[in-house]
C-alpha cells in the first residue's frame, strides 16, 4: 500500500519535470529559428539598476562587435502563388563588320578568257586577235616625185617641163605644207621665166657691143641674137644658146638689162637658187637686201634650205 502511495505521489513531479524538459527543447528550437531580437529593439527601454547600471568608471578595453553566425532568414513564400517571370533583359551586343570579301581578279579586256582544258588534253590556245591597222597616212610619193621633177626641170632651164610637173604637184598636194610648197615653186617659176626673157632681149642687143666684161677678163662679141650668142674668148670662138650658156654669162647679161629695183633682186635671186650653175650665197644676199628694203620674201626664203636638184657647177664669175 505504501509503495502504491509513493508512486502516486511521485507521478505529478515526474510529469512536471517532463513538461519542463519539453518547454526547454521548444524554447531552444524557437531560439534557433528566430534568435534574439536585433540590437536597439529588445530591452531598449529596460534600464539596469544598482552597481551594474553605473558601470565601470573607465572602459575596460575596445569593444568588439559580435557577429551573428546565423544565416539570414529565408523570405517567406506565399503558398500557391507562382513567382512572376521576369522577361530576359536585352544586352546589346557589339556589332562587328562582316569581313570584306577578297577582291575578284577579272581578266584584262585585252586578254581573252580561255576555259581550262579537260584532264589529259593540251590547253586550248586562242588565236591572237589581228593587230589594229595603223591609221592610213596619205601617200605623198607622187607629190614628192612631182616637186623634185619641177626643180630638176628649172635647174636644166626647161620651163615647159617645169610647168607640166607643177600641174601634177598641184593635183597631188594633200596638206597645207604641200600646197605652200607648190605655191612657192609656181612663184619662182614665174620669176625664172622673166629672167630668161631678159637674157634673150639682152643677147639681141649685144650685137652692137664690141667687148663684154666677164669676171676678171674681157671677151669680144662676134655674133648675137635673141636665141644664140657667139663670143671670142682665149683665142677661139664659142657659141652659146640658153641650154648651154654658162650661168655667170647669163647673169651678167640679165644684170645689164635690169634696173636696180627690188623685184629684180627677187628675179636674179631665184635664178641663182634654182639653176645648176647658181650661187645660193649670192641669192641669199639679194633676197635679204630686198627684204630690208620692204619687199616681202617670206614665202621664198624656205627654198634656201632645200637641197639643190643638181649639184651646182662653177662657171664664169658674176
Count of domains forming the chain: 1
Residue 19 within any structural domain of the chain: no
Question: For residue 184, is it within any domain?
Answer: yes
Beta-bridged to residue 217, according to DSSP, are 214
* Burial tier of 173 (Cβ tally within 10 Å: 0-12, 13-18, 19+): buried
Give the pLDDT confidence score for residue 24 in this predicted structure. 78
140 vs 148, higher pLDDT: 148
- Report if residue 155 sits inside a domain: yes
In a domain, 100, yes or no: no
- Spatial separation of the C-alpha atoms in residues 285 and 290, rounded to whole Å: 9
Q: Phi/psi of residue 212, each to 5°?
A: -135, 115
Q: Which residues pair with residue 8 across a beta bridge? A: none
Burial class (CB in 10 A: 0-12, 13-18, 19+), 168: middle
Give the Cα separation of 1 and 221 in Å (integer). Answer: 216
pLDDT, mean over the chain: 77
Asked if the structure places residue 88 within a domain, the reply is no
Structural domain range at position 252: 141-305
**Would residue 122 count as lying in a domain?**
no
pLDDT tens for 81-126 read 566 666 666 555 555 555 566 666 655 555 555 566 666 666 666 6
Q: How many residues does the chain have?
A: 318
User: pLDDT-derived band of residue 145, with 50, 70 and 90 as boundaries?
Assistant: very high
Residue 277 lies in a domain: yes
**CA atoms of 297 and 265, how far apart (whole Å):** 11
pTM score: 0.56
Q: What dihedral angle (degrees, nearest 10) is formed by the CA atoms of 211, 213, 217, 220?
A: -20
Determine, yes or no, domain membership for 166. yes
Amino acid at each position: 500500500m505504501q509503495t502504491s502511495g509513493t508512486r502516486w505521489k511521485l507521478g505529478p513531479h515526474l510529469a512536471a519535470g517532463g513538461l519542463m524538459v519539453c518547454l526547454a527543447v521548444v524554447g531552444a528550437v524557437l531560439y534557433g529559428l528566430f534568435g534574439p531580437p536585433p540590437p536597439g529593439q529588445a530591452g531598449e527601454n529596460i534600464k539596469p539598476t544598482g552597481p551594474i547600471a553605473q558601470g565601470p568608471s573607465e572602459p575596460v578595453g575596445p569593444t568588439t562587435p559580435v557577429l551573428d553566425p546565423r544565416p539570414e532568414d529565408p523570405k517567406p513564400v506565399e503558398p500557391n502563388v507562382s513567382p512572376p517571370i521576369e522577361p530576359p533583359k536585352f544586352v546589346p551586343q557589339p556589332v562587328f563588320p562582316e569581313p570584306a570579301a577578297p577582291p575578284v581578279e577579272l581578266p584584262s579586256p585585252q586578254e581573252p578568257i580561255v576555259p581550262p582544258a579537260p584532264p589529259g588534253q593540251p590547253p586550248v590556245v586562242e588565236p591572237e586577235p589581228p593587230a589594229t591597222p595603223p591609221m592610213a597616212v596619205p601617200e605623198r610619193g607622187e607629190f614628192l616625185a612631182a616637186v623634185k621633177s619641177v626643180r630638176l626641170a628649172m635647174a636644166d632651164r626647161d620651163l615647159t617641163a617645169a610647168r607640166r610637173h607643177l600641174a601634177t604637184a598641184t593635183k597631188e598636194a594633200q596638206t597645207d605644207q604641200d600646197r605652200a610648197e607648190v605655191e612657192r615653186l609656181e612663184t619662182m617659176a614665174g620669176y625664172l621665166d622673166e629672167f630668161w626673157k631678159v637674157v634673150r632681149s639682152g643677147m639681141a642687143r649685144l650685137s652692137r657691143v664690141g667687148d663684154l666684161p666677164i669676171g676678171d677678163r674681157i671677151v669680144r662679141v662676134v655674133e648675137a641674137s635673141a636665141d644664140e650668142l657667139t663670143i671670142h674668148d682665149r683665142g677661139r670662138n664659142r657659141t652659146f644658146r640658153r641650154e648651154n650658156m654658162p650661168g655667170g654669162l647669163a647673169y651678167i647679161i640679165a644684170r645689164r638689162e635690169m634696173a636696180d629695183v627690188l623685184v629684180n633682186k627677187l628675179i636674179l635671186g631665184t635664178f641663182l637658187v634654182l639653176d645648176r650653175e647658181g650661187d645660193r650665197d649670192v641669192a641669199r644676199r639679194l633676197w635679204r637686201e630686198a627684204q630690208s628694203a620692204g619687199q616681202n620674201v617670206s614665202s621664198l626664203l624656205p627654198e634656201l634650205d632645200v637641197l639643190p636638184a643638181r649639184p651646182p657647177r662653177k662657171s664664169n664669175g658674176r
